[in-house]
Structure 1
Amino acid sequence: MSDFDLVIRNGTVVTAADTSVCDVAVRDGRIVALGERLAPGREEIDAAGQYVLPGGVDAHCHLDQPMGPGVRMADDFETGTRSAACGGTTTVIPFAAQQKGHSLRAAVDDYHRRAEGLACIDYAFHMIVSDATSAVLSEELPELIEAGYTSFKIYMTYDDLKLDDRQILETLAVARREGAMTMIHAENADCIAWLTEALEAAGHTAPRYHADSRPPVVEREATHRAISLAELVDTPVLIVHVSGTEAVAQIRWAQGRGLRVYAETCPQYLFLTAEDLDIHGFEGAKCVCSPPPRDEASQATVWDGLENGVFQVFSSDHAPFRYEDAEGKKAAGEDAAFQYIPNGVPGLETRLPLLFSAGVLGGRLDITRFVALTATNPARIYGLYPRKGTIAVGADADLAIWDPDAEWTVTNDALHHDVDYTPYEGMRLRGRPVVTLSRGRTVWRDGAFVGEPGNGRFLRCARPQPARPRGESRGF
């Protein structure tokens, strides 16, 4: 009788540290051996000529998140995690979002109800703290961190989510005391409101003007302020969805001073520009997100930051709103002013293939850096490592086998989310996962989803203990 449930043979196994050609053996959903000429498994996969990578960890995505009146996200936990699995991702961390006037615990409980029985791959939760009352900060937040919800996001913009500077300081103080990781959406709300009013007064309401209402200085100022507040409290922070040159300069400055400032970016800042908001009619609404895509010079800066260690995490920021939907991008009508367009673009399934094609095969990133950015670093930062994010004895058998020679074209018809468009339609890519395994179970094979809703498990996160970000361009 075989010792192993599965053996993957002859592949190039990649971690954030190194690569080697070896076999990977799986038993009871975990990796139990790495080596040459391992004993037979009950199932075998020949991965000769292919890469065996840790399944991706998408540490910033939005699934079935409650929205304002008349607006609904397209993807729930079933369609979203299905799409992630088909793109080589095996763990997602979406957001349990507190509503103002409601408790944080209620948001977490509601999110568990939304996920129950639907997820096809494993998942954890970040929290969103939007109402930093004394009860939340003194009782609920510490209790939830202790229970395994060890990261949370705060906003410096959006009226229904933003905290003021005093509230940010008080929330960061809880993170420091309890050992949690704080994610910050850094844009200056008052600047955005002032610019938006001026643009609307001039009749500039089309989707293209969304970018004009959020110029780089708005992100730069808020990024510097977030860093300063974190320095004052002496606690680590991670600046999410960084879009370009000016914010990157602030982060690099902070990291150069030895501050524990981490950074994340997303596909839209590598593959889209502000010009994509100015396509025919209302079509630019498809690319409305915040911060908005910038210009080609900003794209180049973001690529440099991915390679040289300014960024530790590459996430999708999947925010799924259908275009042809009265509860989606057109919730306020096809002629709505840009400020009423739901913000966000889909990207769970395309995140890894886009970066692999343009980054690894395009010569901008080595493959170990790819693994660090998309799996190992987010698992470390958010308290899931080494169970997730690496290929090692004892880790969950979350694996993606990649064919680097596969050439294909991105089309929304071939994707598995429940959104009616992709902003990357028509892009020609090289390389894609041909097999995805979640805890040893095949969920994607040769172009077909073969997983099942409900097989995904909720993950309680440990308190993260990431190293300081500078000098880690090859992983942590």
Structure 2
Amino acid sequence: MKGYDLVIRNGTVVTASDTTICDIGIRDGRIVALGESLGAGKEEIEASGHYVLPGGVDAHCHFDQPSGPGIQMADDFETGTRSAACGGTTTVIPFAAQQKGDTLRATVEDYHRRADGNACVDYAFHLIVSDATPLVLKEELPSLIEEGYTSFKIYMTYDDLKLNDREILETLAVARQEGAMTMIHAENADCIAWLSDALEAAGQTAPRFHATSRPPVVEREATHRAISFAELVDTPVLIVHVSGQEPIEQIRWAQGRGLRIYAETCPQYLFLTADDLKLDGFEGAKCVCSPPPRDARSQEAVWEALENGVFQIFSSDHAPFRYEDAEGKKSAEGKSFKHIPNGIPGVETRLPLLFSEGVLKGRIDITKFVALTSTNPARIYGLYPRKGTLAVGSDADIVIWDPTLEWTITNDRLHHNVDYTPYSGMTLTGKPITTLLRGQVVWKENIFIGGPGGGCFLPCERPQPAMPKGVSKGF
């Protein structure tokens, strides 16, 4: 019998369902054995006293995405995926974002040019459908789903991205027909435009008014409408970056009725509030994202929904713009909040934040941590069991965690290309100390030793997700 290329010994091995102390044997980039006292490996890692987890799957992040005239995202596929690896994430699913007037096929080809040879971890693509033409819906989208682009996002807001209600229904019908998963950004565009115009007319243009222009009701209404469309078409949808109690109530109601409604939230809704947009001067622009952070009551509602199963996925929604940059956040200084590049960085801090403040403070257990950050996104987006678990046959994407290491987040400790982090100064406990991508160490002892081209593209299967809590209807 062939030996092992690598053996990880005596770690506390965690999946979404089980925790056990054992060894992991790796050969040719895959896990080939889990058990006690495995034979010798060519290399060995001692993991006593540490958690051994499947690599994180960040199913919602933006790299090198066109953002309008004069605006440039800070992270390309090299810097963004480097940052992911250093934070314990070994698979990312960014977006191939269609621009109105472009074909989906040309969009996908463009994103492959951006990613190929540059990614430091493995990656798939969601599509963004912003121009639901007959060509897109009848030809391009079905063929791309068949080729492994089995999830796509649609927007209910942003003039350059949004679909109207009829277009949403027609796009959901394609998802139903082809067995794809639809992600929905649920905010009411007309409500936001009306409020924004009124605020501007009153001279209320500072960053803090971004939150005022997008109150919870605009998210609640759009979430209910998205759920209604999914029910009408009879297809599953996933509501992304849910911010607080009001949309959560809509989602919980739908799940309780047996509808196939999935939900995702992000670190900004657990660790930031609308007060962070009120920082002195223009500093509040650093925390402008949509939906905006809410209040302490909303944070508590998000924690409760993570605990009780309303949310299936915890993603970063990494949308990186530099602050001190004429092509970043500062491009809007002196202008209305409407012009601030929308999004915050978080791909590297996603896992440590949830581990420290969720697992170690008793909000969620370690198996739910794995489910939310790795297993569920792999299942829902068609990458399981290659990704998202520690099992014989799975890729050896493995993260070793020191659960006792105390450290403070500062931007100079992170590996993205952004000049700030909104979580600066937070002291956390627990950190990835080793990250392996298909059996190769890419992060160890605070040193990144991977490189561009180490990651590969992953075509996705049609999803076979577990149902949300309370849902009995099959996928």
Q: 1:470 Cα deviation (Å)? A: 1.6
C-alpha distance in structure 1 between counterparts of 2:307 and 2:245, whole Å = 15
C-alpha distance in structure 2 between counterparts of 1:446 and 1:467, whole Å = 36
C-alpha distance in structure 2 between counterparts of 1:337 and 1:448, whole Å = 41
Q: What's the counterpart of residue 44 of structure 2?
A: 44
Q: What's the counterpart of residue 303 of structure 2?
A: 303
What do the CA deviations read for 1:130-164 (whole angstroms, capped 9, x no partner)?
Answer: 00000100000000000000000000000000000
Indicate whether 1:370 and 2:369 are aligned.
Answer: yes
Q: 1:465 Cα deviation (Å)? A: 1.5
Q: Helix, strand or coil: the match of 1:167?
A: helix
Whether the 8 Å CA contact 1:2–1:41 is kept in 2: the answer is no
Whether the 8 Å CA contact 1:23–1:36 is kept in 2: the answer is yes
Structure 1 runs of 4+ aligned residues shifted over 4 Å read: none
C-alpha distance in structure 2 between counterparts of 1:112 and 1:22, whole Å = 39
- Please list, as runs of the form range in 1=range in 2, the aligned pairs for 1:67-146 lying within 5 A after superposition: 67-146=67-146
Indicate whether 1:399 and 2:398 are aligned.
Answer: yes
Specify the code of the residue in structure 2 equivalent to 1:179: G
Specify the code of the residue in structure 2 equivalent to 1:114: R
Whether the 8 Å CA contact 1:187–1:223 is kept in 2: the answer is yes
Whether the 8 Å CA contact 2:379–2:466 is kept in 1: the answer is no
Q: Helix, strand or coil: the match of 2:32?
A: strand
Q: Helix, strand or coil: the match of 2:450?
A: coil
Whether the 8 Å CA contact 1:258–1:470 is kept in 2: the answer is no
Q: 1:370 Cα deviation (Å)? A: 0.2
Q: Helix, strand or coil: the match of 1:264?
A: strand
Whether the 8 Å CA contact 1:2–1:42 is kept in 2: the answer is no
Specify the code of the residue in structure 2 equivalent to 1:194: W
Q: What's the counterpart of residue 381 of structure 1?
A: 380
Q: Helix, strand or coil: the match of 1:230?
A: helix
C-alpha distance in structure 1 between counterparts of 2:442 and 2:342, whole Å = 30
Whether the 8 Å CA contact 1:274–1:294 is kept in 2: the answer is yes
Specify the code of the residue in structure 2 equivalent to 1:390: T
Whether the 8 Å CA contact 1:241–1:317 is kept in 2: the answer is yes
C-alpha distance in structure 1 between counterparts of 2:334 and 2:40, whole Å = 62
C-alpha distance in structure 2 between counterparts of 1:468 and 1:382, whole Å = 13
C-alpha distance in structure 1 between counterparts of 2:408 and 2:85, whole Å = 18
TM-score where L is the length of structure 1: 0.98
Indicate whether 1:458 and 2:448 are aligned.
Answer: no
Whether the 8 Å CA contact 2:265–2:313 is kept in 1: the answer is yes
Q: 1:335 Cα deviation (Å)? A: 1.5
Unpaired stretches in structure 2, ≥5 consecutive residues: none
C-alpha distance in structure 2 between counterparts of 1:6 and 1:142, whole Å = 41
Q: What's the counterpart of residue 346 of structure 2?
A: 347
What do the CA deviations read for 1:183-237 (whole angstroms, capped 9, x no partner)?
Answer: 0000000000000000011110000000000000000000000000010000000
Q: 1:450 Cα deviation (Å)? A: 0.5
Specify the code of the residue in structure 2 equivalent to 1:60: H
C-alpha distance in structure 2 between counterparts of 1:465 and 1:447, whole Å = 36
Q: What's the counterpart of residue 423 of structure 2?
A: 424
C-alpha distance in structure 1 between counterparts of 2:376 and 2:174, whole Å = 23
Q: What's the counterpart of residue 255 of structure 1?
A: 255
- Please list, as runs of the form range in 1=range in 2, the aligned pairs for 1:271-290 lying within 5 A after superposition: 271-290=271-290
Q: 1:467 Cα deviation (Å)? A: 2.7
C-alpha distance in structure 2 between counterparts of 1:156 and 1:441, whole Å = 41
Q: What's the counterpart of residue 66 of structure 1?
A: 66
What do the CA deviations read for 1:418-447 (whole angstroms, capped 9, x no partner)?
Answer: 000000000000000000000001010010
Unpaired stretches in structure 1, ≥5 consecutive residues: none
Q: What is the aligned residue count?
A: 472
Q: 1:2 Cα deviation (Å)? A: 6.8
C-alpha distance in structure 2 between counterparts of 1:471 and 1:456, whole Å = 37
- Please list, as runs of the form range in 1=range in 2, the aligned pairs for 1:76-225 lying within 5 A after superposition: 76-225=76-225
Indicate whether 1:447 and 2:435 are aligned.
Answer: no
Whether the 8 Å CA contact 2:258–2:470 is kept in 1: the answer is no
C-alpha distance in structure 2 between counterparts of 1:128 and 1:6, whole Å = 39
Specify the code of the residue in structure 2 equivalent to 1:403: D
Q: Helix, strand or coil: the match of 1:385?
A: coil
Q: 1:471 Cα deviation (Å)? A: 4.4
Whether the 8 Å CA contact 1:320–1:345 is kept in 2: the answer is yes
The share of aligned pairs that are identical, in percent, is: 78
C-alpha distance in structure 2 between counterparts of 1:360 and 1:462, whole Å = 31
Whether the 8 Å CA contact 2:307–2:364 is kept in 1: the answer is yes
TM-score where L is the length of structure 2: 0.99
Whether the 8 Å CA contact 2:399–2:434 is kept in 1: the answer is yes
C-alpha distance in structure 2 between counterparts of 1:172 and 1:149, whole Å = 15
Indicate whether 1:8 and 2:22 are aligned.
Answer: no
Whether the 8 Å CA contact 1:6–1:26 is kept in 2: the answer is yes
C-alpha distance in structure 2 between counterparts of 1:283 and 1:66, whole Å = 24
Inter-CA distance 37–270: structure 2 relative to 1 (3 Å threshold): same
Specify the code of the residue in structure 1 equivalent to 2:134: S
Q: What's the counterpart of residue 359 of structure 2?
A: 360
Specify the code of the residue in structure 1 equivalent to 2:129: V
Q: 1:367 Cα deviation (Å)? A: 0.2
Inter-CA distance 2–42: structure 2 relative to 1 (3 Å threshold): farther
Indicate whether 1:411 and 2:410 are aligned.
Answer: yes
